[in-house]
Chains A and B, each alone.
Chain A
Amino acid sequence: MENKIRTYKIYCILETLSPLTHMMGVSGNESLINREPIIYKNRKVFVPVISGNSIRHRMIRSAGSEYLVKQMEIDGKLGLDQLDFMFYGGRLCETKTTTNISKIAEMEELFPLYRLLGGSLKNQIIAGSLDVWRGLLICEENRKTINEYLPEEYKITNKLLPADLFIGNYQYTRGDARNIRNISSIADNVSSLDDREKSNLMLYSGQQVNRNSLFFHGFSTKHISNIEIGCLFHSLQLWSENCSTVGGMAAKGHGRVIINCIMHDIDIDISECILLYIEHVKKNKEKMVKWLDANFPKKKNKGDILDG
């Protein structure tokens, strides 16, 4: 396959398989979903949204970095700075910043994932080549905006359901140990409990985006090779295979989604690109470890200093 350097637009639809609780805050003991104000029919309305930051982290960086850690066989051996760079993009921590082109080139060649996402070395920031779009709820209020993104033949001409139909509520209860039957057979020092003492049963509730709602989002990439597009889809695939979730409360079954990618104007074989990326990682894993150790040297612990 010819290794073309190209710019891609990848359109996606996220389908919620369980309530989605990508939150923006809390009011009392009620959680509120993330909404953004938009102007619709000369009015300000608030429509649910998934931040690009969340999509980027969950679907690409976290999934892709976990794969790299396994392949490089560095589980349990990563320094904190290395971990920070791989999973959270790193941070500037030296007083002087610099632009070391060869270092950037080396990183981009070794790590297609970080060429896509960018990140920060200790003294320089490296821009990525992947733009992640925000997740827009597919609803009437967003139809015009979504159509601006979509290619001509995919434009949505039908009227869509209004946003408020996709929003619901949940309520959970956290029990109180004092309500356990025969508590004295399990717990110690319960004789002091007053029978009339009120139970501390905790009710907590919040908003959710209902199951079977759809979000439109996408990725645009600038001048990337087949290996990088393979890396992008490989990360999406890993995320998807590992019970893909977005937003919070995955522990309670929230946020499970499936991703649908619209293959418009993409004339390359994605499976082949993924294989290219896997091959690349296998071939370069030692070099990758060396690069990480050189750029994010592990701090010696106290014992090492004393021994040294």
Chain B
Amino acid sequence: MSIILIKNQGEFRKKLACCFDSVSITGEEKKEEIKEKCINFISFLPIVFSDDLERKTLWDRISNGIYSATTKCDNDFEKFINYVLEYIKADAAKVASNKEFSDFLTYTVKQSDEWKIAFINYCQTKYFIVVTYARQKWEEKKAEKGKDNGK
């Protein structure tokens, strides 16, 4: 018979196992935290954006990089970060010496797998929003730096 017959509760649970959620984050606080970290990470990207690329394409390239990285990384957080940096041809020396970025990595290393998947998922499903916020943040950072330099 070509219909699969599920004869007991065990078989039923086995069939459903692929839908069980052991990784998603539901707490509102955690969601806010992930959003903030996404914005921080993306707002750091203009610093390491390659000089070989047209500066006018900065945000276009960043948003495309995020989107393509989410589809290529297979939910691997480190791969995701790497793909994004690769897409904007980030300068490895600038990345390695950036304190903001190394603090971000130190923070994320301590996070659970579900946190990391939620981070990637947030970037994928809300990438227009996150890029907009990141750009705002980057403008603020620039303005602050300008003020500091003026003092």
Contacts and interface: CB of A to CB of B under 8 A. Distances in A.
A and B: interacting chains: yes
Interface of A: 13, 15, 138-140, 153-154, 156, 158-162, 164-165, 212, 214, 233, 236-237, 240-241, 258-263, 270-271
B21 A271 contact: no
A240 B6 contact: no
A72 to B, nearest CB: 24
Contact of B15 (A13, A139, A165, A263): A13
Interface residues of B, number: 18
A13 B2 CA distance: 14
A161 B6 contact: no
The B interface, classified by DSSP as helix, strand, loop or mixed, is: mixed
Nearest to B9: A153
Contacts of B7: 263
A140 to B, nearest CB: 6
B3 to A, nearest CB: 5
B9 A154 contact: yes
Given A160-B19, A262-B6, 10 more contacts: A13-B6, A138-B16, A154-B9, A158-B20, A160-B21, A165-B24, A165-B121, A261-B3, A262-B12, A271-B1
B5 A162 contact: no
Contacts of A262: 6, 12
B20 A161 contact: yes
A160 B121 CA distance: 16
Nearest to B2: A240
The A interface, classified by DSSP as helix, strand, loop or mixed, is: mixed
Contact of B16 (A156, A237, A241): A156
Given A164-B125, A214-B15, A260 B3 contact: yes
B93 interface: no
11 contacts: A138-B16, A140-B21, A159-B21, A214-B16, A241-B2, A259-B4, A260-B4, A260-B15, A262-B6, A262-B12, A270-B1
Interface string B1-36: 111111101001001101111001000000000000
Contacts of B20: 158-161
With most chain A CB atoms within 10 A of its CB, the pick from B6, B7, B19 is B19
B4 A261 contact: yes
B5 A237 contact: no
A237 B2 contact: yes
Contacts of A259: 3-4
A258 B2 CA distance: 9
A161 B24 contact: yes
Contacts of B4: 258-261
B3 A236 contact: yes
Contacts of A139: 19
Contacts of B21: 140, 158-162
Contacts of B5: 260-261, 263, 270
B33 to A, nearest CB: 18
